Structures are given as structure tokens and as C-alpha cells.
Structure 1
Amino acid sequence: MAHSPKILVVLTSHDKLGDTGKPTGWYLSELAHPYQILTEHGFTLTLASPAGGAAPLDPASVDAASSDPVSTAFLAQHRAAPPWERTAPLASFLGRADDFAALFFPGGHGPMFDLAADPACQALVAEFAAKDKVVAAVCHGPAALLGVKISSGAAGGGAGEAYLRGKRVTGFSNAEEEEIGLGGVVPFLLEDRLTEVVGKGGKYVKAAEKWAEKVVVDGKLITGQNPASAKGVAEAIVEAVAGA
């Protein structure tokens, strides 16, 4: 593999879970497991967020990962200087897709509130797509792809066809959202919105059982359904970049 290829990782800047008064943010295991896989394969990760600065780590995800050695090791490794506390503004990467091998969106509920409607995020994804770069997302991360428009020969988030139109994708399912009691809290149900955006020529795909791993690869687009899918998404990124 070429010298230290780079992955641009976009985290949410949103830290409030609707009107519940509870905190949210990005989900620990959905960054920790890909970080382990990607760094082991020689990638370097650059972290960005819409607002720049500190990207909120969902405390519930830290609790959920208390018995996950990969996540606890990740936190321990970065305890002195957490890179998610000093992310670069997402907009600063516009025009720089050639600097990276892939674009990756971890989940957590935060992306449902900010990345799903962020113009700079949409423009960034469109740019990576126009350059035929790998775009990957897991769990609620695919929310960042919903509003992306592409047009032949042009990058940017302007008028054009939906990036996801006609594609096979996955993301956090309605059943999973309802099981954790947040179906009425999130601004929309991701499964429903993905199904709508991909249209009749595409398909939303999910695992036979809730919480089971499901990774869907459609060309350079890689999506994972839930936290259990984060490692598989990272492995698919490695394979896709190697085959590029």
C-alpha cells in the first residue's frame, strides 16, 4: 500500500438528543474499531466536524463499551490528548478530496441532527463521489449522505441526482431505533429515509436479526447497519482502497 494513506473521518458536532435533555454525539465503538483496523493497515486518520474543535462523544456509548477491550484501549491510548477534542472544521476540507483515500462517517445519534442537513458535508461527499473515492458510513452515519446531490462531471452539493439514488445501502433500522425507545425522538427514521432516497432502483438492506452485523458494498459506497458492523465497514474500506 502507498505511504500512509489518509482517511478523513467526519464526526458530529451535535450534543443534545432532541428535547429529552440527554446528551448525544458520536458513538465510541464505531470509531474505535475502525481506528484499530485502519491504523493496523497503515492508514492515518484525520478528524473533522461541522463546527471544528471538540466533537461530543456520547457518554452512553462509553458505558455500552465498558466491556469492549478495543473501545477501552482506544480511550486509554488517547486519554492524554483526545483527537476528537480538536477536530478541524469540516468545510476546511472542501477541494481536498485528492488528499484522502476515503471519507468515513461513524454514527451515534448526533449525525441525524447536524450532518444530515449540513451543506458543507453534502458538498464534501459530492466531491469525494466525483473523484470516485471511497465513501463509508456506519449506523446513523449514513444520515450524512441523504441530502447529497451529484451531477456528471461536477462536484458540489447543487442541483442534480441524489447520490444514493439506485444504490444498495444499509443503516440503523427502524426496529433497532424503536427497541432503544428513540423512534419518536430522532428527527426522522433512517431506514425510512434511506428507502425513500435510494428509490425503486436501489434497496435498503438489513440483517435478518436486530443488532446483527450487516455491511453493504455498492461500488465505492460502503455502509454498515449498526455498532456491530463498524469493524466490517473498516475491513471493507481497506479492501476497497487496495482495489482502487
Structure 2
Amino acid sequence: MKKILVVLTNIEKYETINRATGLWLGEAAQFVEVVKEAGYETDYVSPAGGLVPIDPASLTSADDIDFKWYHDADFKRHALAETLKPSDINPEDYAAIYYTGGHGTMWDFKDNIELQQIAEKIYEQNGYVTGVCHGVVGLVNLLDTQTGKRLIKGKKVTGFSNMEEKLNRTKKHVPFLAEDSLKEAGAKYKSKRPMKEHVRVDGQLITGQNPPSAKKVGQELVKALKNRTS
């Protein structure tokens, strides 16, 4: 059984204001809980490798599953302290790639060529490209290697909405907006009510709107992988 590759940010602080950011813990924990229960192994990669900071705000809303993984020794080591570098990754080992969120991803996901090449290869091998919340910006520049066009062009996707960014009081402090970037890449973007679970599936693409959607992204991925092998 092939593994699932989880992508996490290395960015710990907004560039323009003195405010901490990083991985939104639940967007990793809730997804990992689902895929692990289904029997899939996970590897963890970040743009620079090594340390992954946690957005402290994500701990204030953490539930029992979040804290279960936060205190799991293997998760703490491989997902938070010693993540792999893109150069360590062989795309052929993975059935899917999952981009976690957190505002940090707005600075180190979209333009990372190495991660793009990994995701494109996984997709080319009939694997799944998935993401949640701000992490979906990692999909913006991906290309369909068969056509040379943007991978998400004409595809149904979702991600952190402009309204959610406004309500979060961070709209002026991010380098671009996730919703706008998806639309500019030609995707068929749709969101629902702020901070309510919303997931869209379009073939090999699975995206979630916000933190409450991470679990559902995992469930939809597992369902797709199981249907493929049944």
C-alpha cells in the first residue's frame, strides 16, 4: 500500500506584523487521524525540512484528537521537529499528497517548485492532490503534465474564503488571498458559511474550505482510495 504525503509550513511569523503563525494543528491532526485509522502510513515534508511551528491560536481551539497527536511521540518528531525536505521525497511512494493549512503556508507553499514537481508527479501517477484551508494555495501553480495547463483550471475547488480572512482580521496582512488565487488560476471556486465544514471533490482533487473541513478531506480521500482498490 502506498503512503500519503503530508505537507506542512516552516513559517512561524507574519512578514509585516508581529504575530505568530505556523501550522494549524487540527488541519494535520484531524486528517492524520482518519487516514491512519484506515491503515495508511504518512510521511511529513515541509519546504525547508526540519522544524514546523504551530500557530498558538490553533491550540486554543484544539480538541481531544488534536491533543492526542500533539502528544504523540512519532508525530512530534516527524511532523513537527524533523520533517523531510522535498529532495528526500520519491513521488512514486505516494498515493496522495495533502497540503495542510495555517497562515504560514501563504509564504512558503505557492511558489515552491520542488513541492510542485512532487505533487504533479503524484497526480500524473493517478494519485490524489488534496489540501485544506490556506494549504490549498499549494495547488495554484500546479500543472497538468499531460496538457501543460493549470491543474485546477476548470476544476471544482474550495479553500479559505475572502470573508473568512476578513472575519479573521488578517485580510490586510497576507501577501495574497487564497480564494482570489484559486479563481485567478481558473478554478471553479465555491465556499459556504464561514468556519463550517465544506469539501469539494473533482476527480483526483479534494479540497476543504477551513479547519473544520480537514477531517472530511481525509474521509473523502480514504473513500476514493478504497473505491479504487475494491
TM-score past 0.5 threshold = yes
Aligned length: 227
Show CA shifts across 1:48-104 (max 9, x none): 111111111112211221xx11111221223895322000102321xx222111111
Q: What is the CA-CA distance between 1:126 and the residue it aligns to?
A: 1.2
Residue 231 of structure 1 corresponds to 215
Residue 156 of structure 1 corresponds to none
Paired with 2:227 and 2:74, the residues of 1 have a C-alpha distance of: 35
Which amino acid in the other structure matches residue 91 of structure 1?
S
Cα distance change, pair 106–237 in 1 and its aligned pair in 2 (3 A):
same
2:100 is equivalent to residue 125 of structure 1: no
Which amino acid in the other structure matches residue 64 of structure 2?
P
What is the aligned counterpart of 1:77 among 64, 72, 75? 72
8 Å Cα contact 1:7/1:103 also seen in 2: yes
Show CA shifts across 1:187-230 (max 9, x none): 111111111212xxx410111x1111100000010000000100
Show CA shifts across 1:174-196 (max 9, x none): 00000010000111111111112
Paired with 2:48 and 2:109, the residues of 1 have a C-alpha distance of: 11
Which amino acid in the other structure matches residue 65 of structure 2?
V
2:137 is equivalent to residue 149 of structure 1: no
TM-score, normalisation: structure 1: 0.88
2:24 is equivalent to residue 12 of structure 1: no
In structure 2, the gaps of 5 or more residues are none
Paired with 1:61 and 1:91, the residues of 2 have a C-alpha distance of: 29
Q: What is the CA-CA distance between 1:243 and the residue it aligns to?
A: 2.2
Question: SS in structure 2 opposite 1:140?
Answer: helix
Paired with 2:138 and 2:115, the residues of 1 have a C-alpha distance of: 7
Cα distance change, pair 192–243 in 1 and its aligned pair in 2 (3 A):
same
2:181 is equivalent to residue 193 of structure 1: yes
Equivalences for residues 109-120 of structure 1 within 5 A? 109-120=103-114
Paired with 1:44 and 1:237, the residues of 2 have a C-alpha distance of: 14
Which amino acid in the other structure matches residue 188 of structure 2?
K
In structure 1, the gaps of 5 or more residues are 154-159
8 Å Cα contact 1:91/1:120 also seen in 2: yes
Equivalences for residues 1-244 of structure 1 within 5 A? 2=1, 5-65=2-62, 68-78=63-73, 81-83=76-78, 84-93=80-89, 96-152=90-146, 160-198=148-186, 202-207=187-192, 209-244=193-228
- Percent identity reads 37
8 Å Cα contact 1:132/1:220 also seen in 2: yes
Question: SS in structure 1 opposite 2:32?
Answer: helix
Q: What is the CA-CA distance between 1:237 and the residue it aligns to?
A: 0.9
Cα distance change, pair 81–219 in 1 and its aligned pair in 2 (3 A):
closer
8 Å Cα contact 1:91/1:121 also seen in 2: no
Paired with 2:76 and 2:94, the residues of 1 have a C-alpha distance of: 23
